[in-house]
Structure 1
Amino acid sequence: MRQTFTLFLLLGFTTVRAQTLPSPKEHFGFTIGDNYHLATFTQTEAYFQKLAAASDRMELTVIGQTEEGRNQYMFIVSSPENLKKRARYQEISQKMARAEGLTDAEAKALAAEGKAVVWIDGGLHATETVGTHQLIETAWQLASRKDPETLNILDNVIILLTHANPDGQELVSNWYMREKTPEKRSLDHLPKLYQKYIGHDNNRDFYIMNMKESQNMGRQLFVEWLPQIMYNHHQRGPAGSVLAGPPYRDPFNYVFDPLMVTGIDAVGAAMYNRLNVENKPGFTRLTGSTFSTWYNGGLRTTTHFHNMIGLLTEIIGSPTPEEIPLVPQRLIPNNNTPNPATPQKWYFQQSIDYSLSLNWAVLNYAARHRDELLYNIYHMGKSSIERGSKDYWTPYPSRIDAITESIKKASPAGGRASAAPALSHYEAVLREPSLRDARGYILPASQADFPTAVKFVNALIKTGILVHKATSDFSVDNKTYPAGSYIVKTNQAFRPHVLDMFEPQDYPNDFLYPDGPPVRPYDAAGWTLAYQMGVQFDRVLTDFTGPFERVPYGELQVPKAASPAKATAGYELSARTNDSFLAVNDLLAAGLEVYRITAAGSGQGTFFVPASAKAKTIVDKVAQERGLTVTAAPKRPAATDLTKLSPRRIALWDTYGGSMPSGWVRWIMEQYHFPFDVIFAKDIDAGELRKKYDAIVFVTRAIPAASGPSESGGYYGRRPPQLEEIPAEYHATLGSITAEKSIPELRKFLEAGGTILTIGSSANLAYHLNLPVRNALVEMTRSGVDRPLPGEKYYIPGSILRVAVDSSQRATWGMNGQTDVYFDASPVFTLAPDALARGTLKPLMWFPNDKPLRSGWAWGQAYLQGGVTAFEATVGSGKLLVYGPEITFRAQAHGTFKLLFNQLYSTR
């Protein structure tokens, strides 16, 4: 864990402070907001250092390193007097947010003493260039302005100005500024993802925090500072408006404290009122945009689950001037857009000016209401502690529907239920004892993949959740748990986040109009992280105690595992533990022999490593670093029960500009030490694939549909780049998978004995190869033609579903008989009976019933029953593995990683 530190220049402090504040124009050579000009991160870093050195209003801290090794900066800005007492104000902010052991009177006293803490960031999505540049201008204005409003802000607020994506700014600004002629500059066709591995998905990482940048910012937000307001700058607003902002459309998540939601309303009002006073029209809100507060995992949205007023604006603007288009329906004032903008030419400077106005509106609100903001976050935390300390029922939509059904069944036909019986229906459904919220969760240390459970615990700890650990064996509800088990109780301030990580999301049925098409959620509808990671836990509905020690806030856990005894025969590593694959890869890389046990039974798929001093050194290291349980085998299994492994030559598909799903898989494979090459469409079209590779992985959106446009390649409807637009160093990455050139080469690869694994929509390859499978989610029209089920009948956005697994297959070794999968309008198949009988097709996962939904929204889920969602096909001498669900989804779906890992070894 990296400690934050204050960046001091080597010059004497007194001398430095006497320097004149450098303006952006003096440093960069242009004014922030000038057309056709962007600052690089290298330039920005130097400016931040100059500004901090010359101003007594700000300290510049490095909160960590980025994935590419750059410094990630945060300014701490306030009056010089406040900065001298920074530690005390930080302590108050922490105490108020956690609300532990305070009386209301003590909280009011701390609120009166403390300063409001406000986070403002920029640049997370690096092609949204307003964000980074408003951050630069904001830092300069806060350092230099002397007007009464700014001075009052500095006296009453501590501002955390945070650069969200240094790597992205360097890439994007250099790409834009590479063209010498300003009018020819363009942000189009960036050659790679603007954050290493994940690009735009960097705003989907904040409840698990896989990336270094997420970890750096998450520690400041949820462990170190815990601001009362955080403001996340983005682009772009809906066509016809200048920006979208708070408040946001329904649904909001039912675990929220209502004061957080109304707090967003209050600050939002300050923001759009200021714009109106300054004659800056074009702010839209509510259903004027698609943005909601349902989803967790975003830089802004995860703060909602921590009682923080999380703000998002999405503004138009680019260094290249653009137009506000004519959208007639946005010209009439209404509650969504009270002050519409008119069609006009729009300049970068206008977006910077709007952003500064919005920042000052938020900061002015915080200055005027600092004690209220501090007390309110305490009040929300206290309410969460109280709810977690007693019986409480969260009113989810499915339970409201159950009340309605109960009333209908009890009422005479055409009649109306009386008030008293209606109350009894409420009590029976919404106060059903078995449906009350959990008081806590126990994660037993005895579960098969405890190292992954600890990764889940660490995700909670990174987000500021209080965790306990058992110091000895204990019992709860007549069940015994071993020492080392983790306990997460709900009587804590951030209870909303705890519930959201363990419990199903219950997304409401949301349609444009009755019997009409569904309204798409902003992101996922369901994501329960414990389900995605395959973590075993018990919900406890009553208060419980035990030999529990409190884990200090922010202290990450390392699972403990004893080094295995020296073995005469060898060592066994469970296939049910993901980190076993890491150990196997290290063993293979060291040239050691590794086998898998093929005999049917509970140990099928277990790794066996013949004993040697070198093997013991490696397994000891992984056991200590990862908590991996390694068993000393008393004897070598029979030769007929073993198959020898060797590392495969693995290729992972990617595309020009970068595929986020591919980037996530790249990160996963690096974490688990799989060797691989990244290949592109041109590599595939060149042929001779079998001479180079044994296995190729295609993530979702790599393989185009078998009917329709022949190219995919990750351009997602955008114009593919032309050769003359792209520097020569990137030419090899251009191109798309096509039916004409690529598919024949993939067929040759399979027929020659290669293995291809497809995820998500890349299951299209099965149709290109004319395998005897068909889409299970179709209906027949009157003309006798199959068509996809319409949204009015069947619609499943990103959600968690439960599937049955044939865990006896090599592809699924280490899996349980049922598992949770992340499903996002994923393909589902019907397999031809004769192919099943011949064994050329083998179903791996399927839906065994008509109610597979675990978390999220699944309209028409009964259509899934019996559908196959993963299968293995024999093609010539090779194998095609097709996985409809997103088994590597955003590197969160640890519970299904083995479905990928099992394919990445050769056996003989």
Structure 2
Amino acid sequence: MIHQLYRRFFFAMICCLSVAAQAQTLPTPKEHFGFSIGDDYQLATYTQTEAYFKKLAAQSDRVKLVDIGATEEGRRQCMLIVSSPANLKNLARYQEISQRMARAENLTDEQAHALANEGKAVVWIDGGLHATETVGTHQLIETAWQLLSRNDPETLRILDQVVILLTHANPDGQELVTNWYMREQQPTKRSLENLPRLYQKYVGHDNNRDFFIMNMKESQNLGHQLFIEWLPQIMYNHHQRGPAGSVLAGPPYRDPFNYVFDPLMITGIDALGAAMYNRLNVENKPGYTRLGGSSFSTWYNGGLRTTTEFHNMIGLLTEIIGGPTPEEVPLVPQRLIPNGATPNPVAPQKWNFRQSIDYSLSLNYAVLDYAARHHDELLFNIYRMGKNSIEHGNRDYWTPYPKRIDAINQAYRNDQKKAAPAESGNTNSDPFGWSNRGGIPAKYYDSVLKDPTLRDPRGYILSAAQPDFPTAVSFINALIKTGLVVHKATADFTVAGKSYPAGSYVVKTNQAFRPHVLDMFEPQDHPNDFQYPGGPPIRPYDSAGWTLAYQMGVQFDRLLEDFDGPFARVPYGELQKPTGGLKAGSSVAGYTLSPRANYSFTVVNDLLKAGVDVYRLSGGRTGKSVVEPGTFFVPASAKARTALEKSAADSGLEVMGVAQRPSGVAGKVKPQRIALWDTYGGSMASGWVRWLAEQYHFPAQVIYAQDIDAGNLHKKYDVIVFVTRAIPATGSQESEANRTPASREPKAEELPTEYRPWLGRITASKSIPQLKQFMEDGGSVVTIGSSTNLAYHLGLPVKNALVEMTASGQSRPLPGEKYYVPGSILRVSMDSTQQATWGMPSQGDVYFDASPVFKIAPDAIANGSVKPLAWFSSAHPLRSGWAWGQSYLQDGVTAFMAPVGSGKLYAFGPEITFRAQAHGTFKLLFNQLYATAVTP
């Protein structure tokens, strides 16, 4: 026995000496960067950070450096896998266990318990997604150093029981922001203000709204690790900044949480939140707020943290104060009283960067310590959530949405009204023969909530025969990138009496990530959320409704009964491509492309670039076939065939050969000189459109206010696109997006020469006259969202439809107590015979975010001075989200075209290019980017 104890002691001493020697060889952050992480006025670039991570990986046996892909600017995005040396040698096994537990397939509870005991908890900690939130990137560096150099019992226990994924979320942004901040030689003059462009190419802050579609390369890199490779049980997303008067906001979060979540998701967040703020309290670090102490909720999908929650991963978000320039914790009196939201308030004080790093390190260790102590529980719980999802998808199940609860109450009230006459002279105050004691009869639960027609679907079928199948495949790929199980039909089949062709896709709900499946297909039902009864609404954290299938205009069938067919399962992560291409023999008169398919525009742009003639047909009948308005026709030629074969194959678009040239009116498509407005600092909405133009091969040039104010626009451009928040309201000299406090207003002489042409705003005095002249000269202007204000500047016969008259006879916008529509999806009617709406359905879904709605004078419509393109034909247009007072929308016009001189103004109130998610309305922009010379 003594001999065994001696051997154990000797072995432990050798291990301690080994790790101590390793710590001595690892470079400290100060040795590498020249300063300690958290020193005031000091930031590290990504180039320096990547080099440091490589040094650590080369010298430590606790870490593996993984290249997870290229960024939009071409840098390599890295992830550090940190664990004990023994765990890293067995990493493939722990990764396999994590995957199996999350997917919960073909496992019994007994097997799951065994795997949970064998496995290691997998915890994701990221930093830097929003690059100006500099605590995130720097706590990542410090956390890596601490985990690799410390040898205290807690750290060693964490390394033994946890696989830690330290992931850099935005390399390009860190490089830009740090170089901008550090350009000043004098430290006290350094500032993060007035960054010249977006800190992630195209999208900036919206990089955290991209994770259910993953358009950006960085999103794809992160998503692949999260949803395909690792499927961690916990993911921790670091952000800034905390509410004024607090140090940080963290879990648990305020209501509403999304109703598709498993209860274990919410209670799991509660448990981790308790571990986090308990540790801060133990370490005498006050200022943590939670629940109603902040605006953050678990309602929205699409964020790096929130999308994981729809995959049964405990998603954590903290928003902390601090930065390289010291600041003050301000005095906010109401924050000083301890309450359930802020149990340990912080006093007003000076705040240094290192304090934020220390808080972040404590929070990371709290999460990791919890994972180490509960690793088997975390693994089993993610399995249990997945198993619950599979079971719910295999049987009849009803998600308790607010509208269903409202239906119960309404049914009860209706029955009470019916029973009232029979109660005359009856002293019995309980006509139903029961005592509700604050409730209502249980029969309403079964008759209303459990209505068989309202149960959740067993699955969805996306037919390969739908008009824009390549876009449907893009939707399927968004699901695949987020780790969902998808099947593809290997032969024709029939379900519920409807036939489907081979190549159709099937998504069933009996899978572990059922919450995400439902969220992508089903409407969100946001509750009516007001500060108090009759008071103003509480704005959702982001969108209230976002159903991706609706946004993308995807056609699908919703099946309430289980079904089967010749379905082959798509391997996890294997992206799909539609089997399009050229469908034509050797002898044809030409080729047609559907106006309903978005990728038709890509192919047409490729043809125009190759010098091939393309026409658009006004519609009608040619021979035995009906030609849709807006159909593209390409006369046959060797050049056309060569170009079509390549472009159609690349895009997956089906291009049909026709035996005879279509008759009727056609317009020759002319490429346009397209200009896209942007501003100093960058517009995210403009960035998304720039990305779209590149994806669909539209040549667009970015222009700024100074370019517009210089005039002679029609000599340089044919069409100018203004995204939301570019054109100011009448009576205002600047756009809302560009308003900047005087202290932050950049002066030309303070900026590098290359950025000075980007300064300026669209103004009524200088810019609007130039835009009016541009249109009078024959140019077209496309306005989206609030930039439809241009119609008011031009004096067009349109008015705001969402107003009311006050007692004094004055017109004012409807107050929020009466009308409120945050980001949601609404149904509109469209005149698809108009050239501006070619390829659109007669009714379609639009993304609407407090968007403009117009009233047009009847005589203006009659004389053609304004042509409505889309309008609300219903008093209940809500499809997904929240629309309070939606009846005010009925008969309101939400898109129109108006001639201005020889040119045109197109006004689209909804966000028709929203975050490059709204594929269903892209054509409302694309149609305006061509000119057609009409010929018989």
| TM norm. shorter chain > 0.5 | yes
1:120 aligns with 2:145: no
Q: In structure 2, how many angstroms separate the alpha carbons of the residues matched to 1:715 and 1:459?
A: 36
CA contact (8 A) 1:24 1:30 kept: yes
Match of 1:671 in 2: 695
1:585 aligns with 2:609: no
1:682 to 690, 706, 723: 706
Match of 1:705 in 2: 729
1:35 aligns with 2:54: no
Task: Look up the equivalent residue of 2:647 and give its one-letter code.
Answer: V
Q: In structure 2, how many angstroms separate the alpha carbons of the residues matched to 1:193 and 1:567?
A: 51
Question: Helix, strand or coil: the match of 1:388?
Answer: helix
Match of 2:13 in 1: none
Match of 1:842 in 2: 867
Match of 1:228 in 2: 233
Question: Helix, strand or coil: the match of 1:300?
Answer: helix
2:74 to 33, 48, 69: 69
Task: Look up the equivalent residue of 1:707 and give its one-letter code.
Answer: G
Q: In structure 1, how many angstroms separate the alpha carbons of the residues matched to 2:59 and 2:734?
A: 58
1:480 aligns with 2:496: no
Alignment of 1:175-324 (within 5 A): 175-324=180-329
Question: Helix, strand or coil: the match of 1:693?
Answer: coil
Match of 1:901 in 2: 926
1:351 to 347, 351, 356: 356
Q: In structure 2, how many angstroms separate the alpha carbons of the residues matched to 1:690 and 1:562?
A: 38
1:854 aligns with 2:883: no
CA contact (8 A) 1:711 1:739 kept: no
Q: In structure 2, how many angstroms separate the alpha carbons of the residues matched to 1:369 and 1:465?
A: 27
1:598 aligns with 2:618: yes
2:789 to 744, 764, 767: 764
1:383 aligns with 2:394: no
Q: In structure 2, how many angstroms separate the alpha carbons of the residues matched to 1:673 and 1:158?
A: 43
1:50 aligns with 2:55: yes
Q: In structure 2, how many angstroms separate the alpha carbons of the residues matched to 1:158 and 1:843?
A: 58
CA contact (8 A) 1:403 1:426 kept: yes
Q: CA deviation at 1:490?
A: 0.2
Change (3 A) 1:216 1:519: same
Q: CA deviation at 1:617?
A: 1.8
Alignment of 1:854-873 (within 5 A): 854-873=879-898
CA contact (8 A) 2:849 2:910 kept: yes
Q: In structure 1, how many angstroms separate the alpha carbons of the residues matched to 2:660 and 2:292?
A: 67
Question: Helix, strand or coil: the match of 2:796?
Answer: coil
Match of 1:812 in 2: 837
Question: Helix, strand or coil: the match of 1:149?
Answer: helix
Q: In structure 1, how many angstroms separate the alpha carbons of the residues matched to 2:282 and 2:627?
A: 70
Q: In structure 1, how many angstroms separate the alpha carbons of the residues matched to 2:142 and 2:854?
A: 54
Q: In structure 1, how many angstroms separate the alpha carbons of the residues matched to 2:588 and 2:112?
A: 63
Task: Look up the equivalent residue of 2:183 and give its one-letter code.
Answer: R
1:576 aligns with 2:596: yes
Output one character per residue of 1:783-829: Cα deviation in whole Å (capped at 9) or x when no partner: 11110000000000000000000000000000000000000000000
Q: CA deviation at 1:476?
A: 0.6
CA contact (8 A) 2:732 2:764 kept: no
Q: In structure 2, how many angstroms separate the alpha carbons of the residues matched to 1:220 and 1:840?
A: 54
Change (3 A) 1:857 1:602: farther
Output one character per residue of 1:488-512: Cα deviation in whole Å (capped at 9) or x when no partner: 0000000000000000000000000
2:149 to 121, 144, 152: 144
Question: Helix, strand or coil: the match of 1:89?
Answer: helix
Q: CA deviation at 1:775?
A: 0.1
Q: CA deviation at 1:562?
A: 4.6
Question: Helix, strand or coil: the match of 2:386?
Answer: helix
1:111 aligns with 2:108: no
Output one character per residue of 1:75-101: Cα deviation in whole Å (capped at 9) or x when no partner: 000000000000000000000000000
Output one character per residue of 1:546-605: Cα deviation in whole Å (capped at 9) or x when no partner: 000000000000111253223431110000000000000000001110000113465110
Q: In structure 2, how many angstroms separate the alpha carbons of the residues matched to 1:294 and 1:617?
A: 49
Segment drifting more, 402-411 vs 222-231 = 402-411
Question: Helix, strand or coil: the match of 1:34?
Answer: coil
Give the TM-score of the pair, scaled to structure 2.
0.94
Alignment of 1:79-94 (within 5 A): 79-94=84-99
CA contact (8 A) 1:713 1:737 kept: no
Alignment of 1:432-443 (within 5 A): 432-443=451-462
CA contact (8 A) 2:22 2:149 kept: no
CA contact (8 A) 2:836 2:928 kept: yes
Question: Helix, strand or coil: the match of 1:284?
Answer: strand
CA contact (8 A) 1:121 1:232 kept: yes
Q: In structure 1, how many angstroms separate the alpha carbons of the residues matched to 2:734 and 2:576?
A: 48
Q: CA deviation at 1:426?
A: 1.2
Q: In structure 1, how many angstroms separate the alpha carbons of the residues matched to 2:384 and 2:100?
A: 12
Task: Look up the equivalent residue of 1:664 and give its one-letter code.
Answer: W
Output one character per residue of 1:312-371: Cα deviation in whole Å (capped at 9) or x when no partner: 000000100000000000000000000000000000000000000000000000000000
Q: CA deviation at 1:20?
A: 1.0
RMSD: 1.4
Task: Look up the equivalent residue of 1:422 and give its one-letter code.
Answer: P
Q: In structure 2, how many angstroms separate the alpha carbons of the residues matched to 1:666 and 1:461?
A: 25
Q: CA deviation at 1:716?
A: 6.3
Q: CA deviation at 1:618?
A: 1.9
Match of 1:8 in 2: none
Q: How many residues align?
A: 893
1:649 to 673, 695, 703: 673
Alignment of 1:346-495 (within 5 A): 346-411=351-416, 412-413=419-420, 418=434, 422-495=441-514
Task: Look up the equivalent residue of 1:532 and give its one-letter code.
Answer: Q
1:550 to 569, 579, 585: 569
Output one character per residue of 1:212-264: Cα deviation in whole Å (capped at 9) or x when no partner: 00000000000000000000000000000000000000000000000011000
Q: CA deviation at 1:622?
A: 2.6
Task: Look up the equivalent residue of 2:910 and give its one-letter code.
Answer: P
1:881 aligns with 2:906: yes
Q: CA deviation at 1:156?
A: 0.1
Output one character per residue of 1:626-653: Cα deviation in whole Å (capped at 9) or x when no partner: 2211010111123x42110110000000
Q: CA deviation at 1:835?
A: 1.2
Q: In structure 2, how many angstroms separate the alpha carbons of the residues matched to 1:567 and 1:305?
A: 52
Q: CA deviation at 1:128?
A: 0.1
Match of 1:9 in 2: none
Q: CA deviation at 1:720?
A: 3.1
Q: In structure 1, how many angstroms separate the alpha carbons of the residues matched to 2:735 and 2:816?
A: 26
Task: Look up the equivalent residue of 1:703 and give its one-letter code.
Answer: I
Match of 1:6 in 2: none
Match of 2:10 in 1: none
Match of 1:743 in 2: 768
Task: Look up the equivalent residue of 2:130 and give its one-letter code.
Answer: H
1:691 to 715, 721, 730: 715
Match of 2:853 in 1: 828
Match of 1:532 in 2: 551
Task: Look up the equivalent residue of 2:381 and give its one-letter code.
Answer: N
Q: CA deviation at 1:296?
A: 0.1
Q: CA deviation at 1:710?
A: 3.9
CA contact (8 A) 1:18 1:54 kept: no
Q: In structure 1, how many angstroms separate the alpha carbons of the residues matched to 2:35 and 2:173?
A: 21
Q: In structure 2, how many angstroms separate the alpha carbons of the residues matched to 1:678 and 1:389?
A: 51
Task: Look up the equivalent residue of 2:916 and give its one-letter code.
Answer: A
Segment drifting more, 558-567 vs 339-348 = 558-567
Q: CA deviation at 1:38?
A: 0.2
Match of 2:6 in 1: none
